[in-house]
Amino acid sequence: MVIGGHGKVALLLARELTGRGHAVTGVIRNPAHAEDVTAAGATPLVLDIEQAHGPELEPALAGFDAVVFSAGAGGGDADRTYAVDRDAAIRIMNAASAAGVRRFVMVSFATADTRYLKGLDDPFYPYQAAKIAADEHLRKSDLEWTILGPGALTLEPATGKITPLAHPVSGDTQTSRGNVALAIAEALAQPATIGKTLDFRDGEVPLTEWFATGGA
């Protein structure tokens, strides 16, 4: 199951996973997006994660092998950012655990870390704070989690090659959405990524090789 199923990364991921023989369900808020999700090879499920709670989420998640959280409020409104990127994400983690779904992949970003946290008056602060809180909740959960931290997202085509990002992060961090989709698919396929936070940008290291070692 892919939460945020109409996003650019999610649609690329649906094509990648279905091409590998997996069945994919894409969770969307807007029914008008169902056609795009279907065209990517996934089954659309209309569910407003901003409003849904445990009694609605748990049966929706039951039976899936894995959950990928690739949703986001899109910035601009702090309250909605917290509602989606933090609160809804945490509810879905809790519901996944209650529903017996073990595997959980979170699409975060490379500087989702208190070391990089902006000031309260910075417009980027709500997004950073929301993602940091969600990531920390996931790390403390009983789920088999992987957190992916790409750099600045682009629409460049996937190359299948990345460079691990060391901290403190500096310099070019551009990361194609296609490579993020490949990273999610590889994380799901590679047990070595369980319990790891993997920060990366586009580069020259074959993504499959790095993920097979769990980012070692």
Residue type, 86: R
pLDDT-based confidence at 22, cuts 50/70/90?
A: very high
Tell me the chain's radius of gyration from C-alpha atoms: 16
We find that the CATH architecture of domain 2-212 is 3-Layer(aba) Sandwich (3.40)
Main-chain phi, psi angles of 56, to 5 degrees? -90, -35
Residue 151's pLDDT is: 97
Q: Which of 31, 133, 121 is nearest to 81 (CA)?
A: 133
State pLDDT tens for residues 154-187. 999 999 999 999 999 989 999 999 999 999 999 9
pLDDT at 74: 78
Q: Is the pLDDT of residue 204 over 80?
A: yes
Where do the structural domains in the chain lie, given as residue ranges?
Answer: 2-212
Q: Write the single-letter amino acid at 118.
A: K
**pLDDT recorded at residue 65:** 97
Q: Contact at 8 Å (CB) between 169 and 151?
A: yes
Q: In what order do the strands lie in the sheet with 196-202?
A: 43-46, 25-28, 2-3, 66-69, 103-107, 144-150, 196-202, 161-164, 205-206
117 φ/ψ sector (left φ>0, alpha ψ -120 to 50, else beta): beta
Amino acid identity, position 188 = L
pLDDT for residue 42? 98
- Using DSSP, state whether 86 is helix, strand or coil: helix
pTM above the 0.95 mark? yes
